Amino acid sequence: MATLLYLATHGPDDPTKACIPFHLAANGAAEAGIGCAINLVGDAVVLIQDAIVENLVPFGIAPLRELMTKLRQHEVPIYV
């Protein structure tokens, strides 16, 4: 069971805001051993598509493809 639930609401039109929940989960909670999950709602539901994952590059944080790899390694669930 997840202790933290990150809510993603921004889509690929704003890559930085879209990737922040993934960054917080992958590099924050999961790295610290805290259970977490991500819930995609609204414009964020397309962030699960392979084409988006491979090409979304935010400013100042890792690309979404790297964040997703880390989330898979930590078995962080993503709900749509």
Q: What angle do CA 13, 48, 6 make, to 5 degrees?
A: 85
> Residue 6's CB: how many other CB atoms inside 10 A?
21
36 DSSP 8-state letter: E
The pLDDT tens digits for 4-35 are: 999 999 999 999 999 999 999 999 999 999 99
Give mean pLDDT, residues 47-57.
Answer: 97
**Distance between start and end Cα atoms, the chain:** 17
Identify the pLDDT of residue 1. 55
75 DSSP 8-state letter: T
Cut 0.85: pTM above it: yes
